[in-house]
Amino acid sequence: MEQHHITHPPQPSTARRAILAGIAATAASVSLAARAQQTAQMRRLGVLMGLANDPEGQARAAALTEGLGALNLKDGGNLRIEWRWAGGDPARVERYATELVALGPEVLLASGSAELAALRRKTRTIPIVFAQVTDPVGQGFVEGVAHPGGNITGFSTYDPPMAGKWLGMLTQVTPPIARVAVLYTPANPSYVGLMRGIENAVPSVAVTVRGAPVQDDAETEAAMAGLAREERGGLVVLPESFTTTHRDAIVALAARYRLAAVYPHRFFAAIGGLMSYDTDFIDLYRRSASYVDRILNGAKPADLPVQAPTKFELVINLKTAKALGVTVAPSLIDTADEVIE
Protein backbone atom coordinates (compact mmCIF):
# COMPACT_ATOMS: atom_id res chain seq x y z
CA MET A 1 0.00 0.00 0.00
CA GLU A 2 1.32 3.40 -0.95
CA GLN A 3 1.91 5.70 2.00
CA HIS A 4 1.40 9.46 1.85
CA HIS A 5 3.37 11.82 4.04
CA ILE A 6 2.15 15.33 4.92
CA THR A 7 4.96 17.84 4.85
CA HIS A 8 4.65 20.75 7.29
CA PRO A 9 6.36 24.08 6.56
CA PRO A 10 9.42 24.57 8.64
CA GLN A 11 8.79 26.53 11.82
CA PRO A 12 11.09 29.37 12.72
CA SER A 13 13.43 28.62 15.51
CA THR A 14 13.02 30.25 18.87
CA ALA A 15 15.95 32.54 18.09
CA ARG A 16 14.45 33.54 14.76
CA ARG A 17 11.09 34.29 16.37
CA ALA A 18 12.83 36.51 18.85
CA ILE A 19 14.56 38.40 16.02
CA LEU A 20 11.28 38.89 14.12
CA ALA A 21 9.56 40.12 17.26
CA GLY A 22 12.39 42.54 17.85
CA ILE A 23 12.11 43.91 14.32
CA ALA A 24 8.35 44.41 14.72
CA ALA A 25 8.81 46.14 18.05
CA THR A 26 11.49 48.39 16.59
CA ALA A 27 9.24 49.33 13.65
CA ALA A 28 6.38 50.13 16.00
CA SER A 29 8.70 52.19 18.17
CA VAL A 30 9.97 54.12 15.16
CA SER A 31 6.39 54.74 13.99
CA LEU A 32 5.36 56.00 17.42
CA ALA A 33 8.44 58.19 17.61
CA ALA A 34 7.71 59.63 14.17
CA ARG A 35 4.15 60.43 15.18
CA ALA A 36 5.36 61.96 18.44
CA GLN A 37 7.89 64.07 16.56
CA GLN A 38 5.21 65.20 14.09
CA THR A 39 2.95 66.19 16.99
CA ALA A 40 5.79 68.03 18.70
CA GLN A 41 6.54 69.95 15.49
CA MET A 42 2.90 71.03 15.02
CA ARG A 43 2.56 74.66 16.06
CA ARG A 44 -0.61 76.01 17.69
CA LEU A 45 -2.52 79.19 16.81
CA GLY A 46 -5.78 80.37 18.34
CA VAL A 47 -7.94 82.74 16.27
CA LEU A 48 -10.83 84.79 17.69
CA MET A 49 -12.95 86.19 14.87
CA GLY A 50 -15.52 88.87 15.60
CA LEU A 51 -17.43 88.11 12.42
CA ALA A 52 -19.81 85.26 11.81
CA ASN A 53 -18.62 82.30 9.76
CA ASP A 54 -20.17 83.87 6.65
CA PRO A 55 -18.69 84.71 3.22
CA GLU A 56 -16.90 87.85 4.47
CA GLY A 57 -15.55 86.08 7.55
CA GLN A 58 -14.47 83.13 5.45
CA ALA A 59 -12.69 85.42 2.98
CA ARG A 60 -10.65 86.99 5.78
CA ALA A 61 -9.88 83.59 7.30
CA ALA A 62 -8.83 82.30 3.89
CA ALA A 63 -6.47 85.26 3.46
CA LEU A 64 -4.86 84.43 6.82
CA THR A 65 -4.43 80.73 6.01
CA GLU A 66 -3.14 81.64 2.54
CA GLY A 67 -0.56 83.95 4.09
CA LEU A 68 0.46 81.26 6.57
CA GLY A 69 0.70 78.67 3.80
CA ALA A 70 3.05 80.91 1.84
CA LEU A 71 5.31 80.80 4.91
CA ASN A 72 5.15 77.00 5.04
CA LEU A 73 2.65 76.90 7.92
CA LYS A 74 -0.05 74.49 6.78
CA ASP A 75 -3.27 74.25 8.77
CA GLY A 76 -3.76 70.58 9.61
CA GLY A 77 -0.17 69.82 8.66
CA ASN A 78 2.49 71.48 10.79
CA LEU A 79 0.03 74.01 12.23
CA ARG A 80 -3.14 73.52 14.24
CA ILE A 81 -5.52 76.49 14.11
CA GLU A 82 -8.30 76.75 16.67
CA TRP A 83 -11.03 78.96 15.18
CA ARG A 84 -13.72 80.72 17.21
CA TRP A 85 -16.45 82.78 15.50
CA ALA A 86 -18.20 85.26 17.81
CA GLY A 87 -20.55 86.80 15.24
CA GLY A 88 -20.57 90.20 16.95
CA ASP A 89 -21.98 88.80 20.21
CA PRO A 90 -20.13 90.23 23.28
CA ALA A 91 -21.01 87.19 25.43
CA ARG A 92 -19.52 84.81 22.86
CA VAL A 93 -16.42 86.99 22.54
CA GLU A 94 -15.76 86.58 26.28
CA ARG A 95 -16.51 82.85 26.30
CA TYR A 96 -14.37 82.09 23.29
CA ALA A 97 -11.49 84.20 24.60
CA THR A 98 -11.51 82.10 27.78
CA GLU A 99 -11.59 78.87 25.74
CA LEU A 100 -8.70 79.84 23.50
CA VAL A 101 -6.42 80.96 26.31
CA ALA A 102 -7.17 77.74 28.22
CA LEU A 103 -5.93 75.74 25.22
CA GLY A 104 -2.48 77.27 25.66
CA PRO A 105 -1.64 78.16 22.02
CA GLU A 106 1.76 79.58 21.14
CA VAL A 107 0.16 82.61 19.47
CA LEU A 108 -3.30 84.18 19.50
CA LEU A 109 -4.81 86.25 16.69
CA ALA A 110 -7.59 88.74 17.43
CA SER A 111 -9.64 90.10 14.58
CA GLY A 112 -10.67 93.46 16.05
CA SER A 113 -10.77 95.66 19.15
CA ALA A 114 -13.49 93.82 21.08
CA GLU A 115 -11.77 90.47 20.52
CA LEU A 116 -8.35 91.90 21.42
CA ALA A 117 -9.68 93.46 24.62
CA ALA A 118 -11.23 90.14 25.67
CA LEU A 119 -8.03 88.18 25.02
CA ARG A 120 -5.92 90.74 26.85
CA ARG A 121 -8.15 90.37 29.91
CA LYS A 122 -7.36 86.63 29.87
CA THR A 123 -3.59 86.67 29.29
CA ARG A 124 -0.63 89.00 29.49
CA THR A 125 1.90 86.32 28.49
CA ILE A 126 0.67 84.55 25.32
CA PRO A 127 1.68 86.66 22.27
CA ILE A 128 -1.32 88.28 20.54
CA VAL A 129 -1.42 89.56 16.95
CA PHE A 130 -4.34 91.80 15.96
CA ALA A 131 -5.45 91.94 12.34
CA GLN A 132 -7.67 95.02 12.24
CA VAL A 133 -7.65 97.36 15.20
CA THR A 134 -8.49 101.06 15.06
CA ASP A 135 -6.02 103.39 16.80
CA PRO A 136 -4.29 100.71 18.96
CA VAL A 137 -2.22 103.34 20.79
CA GLY A 138 -5.23 105.51 21.59
CA GLN A 139 -7.14 102.49 22.85
CA GLY A 140 -4.25 101.57 25.13
CA PHE A 141 -3.47 98.20 23.59
CA VAL A 142 0.15 99.10 22.82
CA GLU A 143 2.60 101.64 24.22
CA GLY A 144 3.61 102.94 20.82
CA VAL A 145 3.62 102.11 17.13
CA ALA A 146 7.37 101.57 16.80
CA HIS A 147 7.76 99.74 20.12
CA PRO A 148 4.45 98.17 21.19
CA GLY A 149 5.74 96.73 24.47
CA GLY A 150 3.95 93.90 26.24
CA ASN A 151 2.55 90.85 24.46
CA ILE A 152 0.53 92.58 21.73
CA THR A 153 1.26 93.85 18.22
CA GLY A 154 -0.39 93.77 14.81
CA PHE A 155 -2.03 95.78 12.05
CA SER A 156 -4.06 98.97 12.40
CA THR A 157 -7.00 99.92 10.22
CA TYR A 158 -8.33 103.42 10.74
CA ASP A 159 -7.06 106.39 12.69
CA PRO A 160 -9.43 109.06 14.08
CA PRO A 161 -8.86 111.53 11.20
CA MET A 162 -10.16 108.93 8.74
CA ALA A 163 -13.53 109.01 10.52
CA GLY A 164 -13.67 112.70 9.71
CA LYS A 165 -13.43 111.77 6.03
CA TRP A 166 -16.63 109.69 6.32
CA LEU A 167 -18.42 112.75 7.69
CA GLY A 168 -16.97 114.90 4.93
CA MET A 169 -18.31 112.51 2.30
CA LEU A 170 -21.85 113.10 3.54
CA THR A 171 -21.43 116.83 2.99
CA GLN A 172 -20.90 116.12 -0.71
CA VAL A 173 -24.46 114.88 -1.12
CA THR A 174 -27.39 117.05 -2.26
CA PRO A 175 -29.93 117.88 -0.98
CA PRO A 176 -27.42 118.76 1.75
CA ILE A 177 -27.35 116.73 4.95
CA ALA A 178 -28.02 118.72 8.13
CA ARG A 179 -28.01 116.10 10.91
CA VAL A 180 -25.82 113.02 11.15
CA ALA A 181 -26.19 109.99 13.42
CA VAL A 182 -23.15 107.77 14.02
CA LEU A 183 -24.11 104.10 14.41
CA TYR A 184 -21.94 102.02 16.77
CA THR A 185 -22.11 99.45 19.57
CA PRO A 186 -20.87 100.48 23.05
CA ALA A 187 -19.25 97.06 23.62
CA ASN A 188 -16.61 97.82 20.98
CA PRO A 189 -13.95 100.18 22.38
CA SER A 190 -12.86 101.37 18.94
CA TYR A 191 -15.82 103.74 18.66
CA VAL A 192 -14.27 106.20 21.15
CA GLY A 193 -11.40 107.28 18.91
CA LEU A 194 -13.53 107.29 15.76
CA MET A 195 -16.20 109.44 17.42
CA ARG A 196 -13.43 111.82 18.48
CA GLY A 197 -12.26 112.03 14.86
CA ILE A 198 -15.79 112.81 13.68
CA GLU A 199 -16.33 115.43 16.39
CA ASN A 200 -13.04 117.09 15.48
CA ALA A 201 -14.25 117.41 11.89
CA VAL A 202 -17.62 118.96 12.81
CA PRO A 203 -16.40 122.61 12.94
CA SER A 204 -15.39 122.41 9.28
CA VAL A 205 -18.80 121.18 8.05
CA ALA A 206 -22.32 122.59 8.39
CA VAL A 207 -23.88 119.60 10.16
CA THR A 208 -24.73 118.50 13.68
CA VAL A 209 -23.61 115.08 14.87
CA ARG A 210 -24.82 112.71 17.56
CA GLY A 211 -23.95 109.16 18.52
CA ALA A 212 -26.47 106.35 17.98
CA PRO A 213 -25.43 103.43 20.24
CA VAL A 214 -27.17 100.15 19.37
CA GLN A 215 -26.86 96.56 20.55
CA ASP A 216 -29.43 94.68 18.45
CA ASP A 217 -31.63 94.95 15.35
CA ALA A 218 -34.53 96.55 17.25
CA GLU A 219 -32.33 99.37 18.55
CA THR A 220 -30.82 99.82 15.09
CA GLU A 221 -34.25 100.28 13.53
CA ALA A 222 -35.34 102.65 16.29
CA ALA A 223 -32.23 104.80 15.72
CA MET A 224 -32.84 104.99 11.98
CA ALA A 225 -36.56 105.66 12.35
CA GLY A 226 -35.81 108.52 14.72
CA LEU A 227 -33.26 109.99 12.29
CA ALA A 228 -35.75 109.70 9.42
CA ARG A 229 -38.27 111.82 11.33
CA GLU A 230 -35.78 114.66 11.28
CA GLU A 231 -35.24 116.72 8.18
CA ARG A 232 -32.16 116.04 6.02
CA GLY A 233 -30.70 113.24 8.11
CA GLY A 234 -27.61 111.21 7.22
CA LEU A 235 -25.85 108.21 8.71
CA VAL A 236 -22.24 107.15 9.37
CA VAL A 237 -21.79 103.47 10.21
CA LEU A 238 -18.67 102.65 12.22
CA PRO A 239 -16.56 99.56 11.50
CA GLU A 240 -17.03 96.74 14.01
CA SER A 241 -18.19 93.15 14.24
CA PHE A 242 -21.83 94.01 15.01
CA THR A 243 -22.35 96.36 12.07
CA THR A 244 -20.52 94.00 9.72
CA THR A 245 -22.49 90.94 10.83
CA HIS A 246 -25.79 92.87 10.56
CA ARG A 247 -24.89 94.63 7.31
CA ASP A 248 -27.88 93.35 5.32
CA ALA A 249 -30.35 94.66 7.89
CA ILE A 250 -28.56 98.01 8.22
CA VAL A 251 -28.46 98.66 4.47
CA ALA A 252 -32.11 97.59 4.11
CA LEU A 253 -33.17 99.94 6.92
CA ALA A 254 -31.25 102.85 5.39
CA ALA A 255 -33.10 102.22 2.11
CA ARG A 256 -36.50 101.93 3.85
CA TYR A 257 -36.04 105.20 5.74
CA ARG A 258 -34.35 106.88 2.74
CA LEU A 259 -31.17 107.80 4.60
CA ALA A 260 -27.96 108.76 2.84
CA ALA A 261 -25.25 106.73 4.56
CA VAL A 262 -21.49 106.24 4.50
CA TYR A 263 -20.18 102.78 5.37
CA PRO A 264 -16.77 101.48 6.47
CA HIS A 265 -16.46 98.53 4.07
CA ARG A 266 -16.90 97.93 0.35
CA PHE A 267 -19.38 95.07 0.82
CA PHE A 268 -21.93 97.53 2.27
CA ALA A 269 -21.93 99.46 -1.03
CA ALA A 270 -21.96 96.22 -3.01
CA ILE A 271 -25.28 95.19 -1.40
CA GLY A 272 -26.91 98.60 -1.85
CA GLY A 273 -25.25 101.06 0.51
CA LEU A 274 -24.70 104.56 -0.86
CA MET A 275 -20.97 105.00 -0.27
CA SER A 276 -18.05 103.26 1.42
CA TYR A 277 -14.46 104.18 2.16
CA ASP A 278 -12.32 101.53 3.75
CA THR A 279 -9.07 99.71 4.24
CA ASP A 280 -8.39 96.51 2.30
CA PHE A 281 -9.08 94.05 5.15
CA ILE A 282 -8.21 90.97 3.10
CA ASP A 283 -4.73 92.40 2.67
CA LEU A 284 -4.41 92.97 6.44
CA TYR A 285 -5.29 89.36 7.26
CA ARG A 286 -2.84 88.08 4.69
CA ARG A 287 -0.11 90.33 6.13
CA SER A 288 -0.96 89.26 9.70
CA ALA A 289 0.39 85.80 8.87
CA SER A 290 3.91 87.24 8.73
CA TYR A 291 3.75 88.29 12.39
CA VAL A 292 2.39 84.91 13.46
CA ASP A 293 5.31 83.28 11.67
CA ARG A 294 7.90 85.62 13.17
CA ILE A 295 6.60 85.05 16.69
CA LEU A 296 6.60 81.27 16.21
CA ASN A 297 10.24 81.67 15.19
CA GLY A 298 11.16 83.50 18.37
CA ALA A 299 10.32 87.18 17.80
CA LYS A 300 8.74 89.15 20.65
CA PRO A 301 5.56 91.17 20.05
CA ALA A 302 7.11 94.05 21.99
CA ASP A 303 9.76 94.36 19.26
CA LEU A 304 7.47 94.12 16.22
CA PRO A 305 6.16 97.56 15.19
CA VAL A 306 2.46 98.05 14.57
CA GLN A 307 1.92 98.24 10.82
CA ALA A 308 -0.44 100.67 9.10
CA PRO A 309 -2.77 99.88 6.20
CA THR A 310 -1.46 100.52 2.71
CA LYS A 311 -4.55 99.93 0.55
CA PHE A 312 -7.79 101.97 0.63
CA GLU A 313 -10.89 101.93 -1.53
CA LEU A 314 -13.73 104.42 -2.20
CA VAL A 315 -16.91 102.95 -3.68
CA ILE A 316 -20.02 104.91 -4.71
CA ASN A 317 -23.32 103.27 -5.61
CA LEU A 318 -25.07 105.60 -8.08
CA LYS A 319 -27.99 103.19 -8.39
CA THR A 320 -28.69 103.70 -4.69
CA ALA A 321 -28.22 107.48 -5.03
CA LYS A 322 -30.93 107.53 -7.68
CA ALA A 323 -33.28 105.45 -5.51
CA LEU A 324 -32.74 107.83 -2.57
CA GLY A 325 -33.22 110.89 -4.75
CA VAL A 326 -29.81 112.35 -3.93
CA THR A 327 -26.87 113.49 -6.02
CA VAL A 328 -23.24 112.76 -5.19
CA ALA A 329 -20.76 115.52 -6.07
CA PRO A 330 -18.96 114.83 -9.37
CA SER A 331 -15.63 115.67 -7.72
CA LEU A 332 -16.14 112.79 -5.25
CA ILE A 333 -17.25 110.40 -8.01
CA ASP A 334 -14.09 111.25 -9.98
CA THR A 335 -11.92 110.05 -7.09
CA ALA A 336 -13.81 106.76 -6.57
CA ASP A 337 -12.04 103.45 -7.10
CA GLU A 338 -15.34 101.87 -8.13
CA VAL A 339 -18.70 103.30 -9.23
CA ILE A 340 -21.73 100.99 -9.16
CA GLU A 341 -24.36 102.02 -11.74
CA-CA distance, 132 to 265, in Å (whole number)?
13
Residue 314 dihedral angles phi and psi, to the nearest 5°: -105, 125
DSSP codes of every residue in 35-48? HHHHHHH-EEEEEE
Q: What is the distance between the alpha carbons of residues 203 and 199, in angstroms, rounded to a whole number? A: 8
Task: Name every residue whose Cβ is closer than 8 Å to that of residue 309 and which is 6 or more positions away in sequence.
Answer: 155, 156, 157, 158, 279, 280, 283, 284
Q: Which domains does the chain have, with CATH numbers?
A: 40-157+281-303 (3.40.50.2300), 160-279+312-340 (3.40.50.2300)
Contacts (Cβ under 8 Å, ≥6 apart) of 40: none
Helix (H, G, I), strand (E, B) or coil at 184: strand
pLDDT tens digits for 286-337? 999 999 999 999 999 999 999 998 888 999 999 999 999 999 999 999 999 9
Cα atoms found within 13 Å of the Cα of residue 168, Cβ hemisphere only: 13
Mean pLDDT value across residues 17-41: 52
Local structure of 297: helix, strand or coil: coil
pLDDT, one tens digit per residue, over 43-55 is 999 999 999 899 9
Flag whether the pTM goes above 0.85.
Answer: no
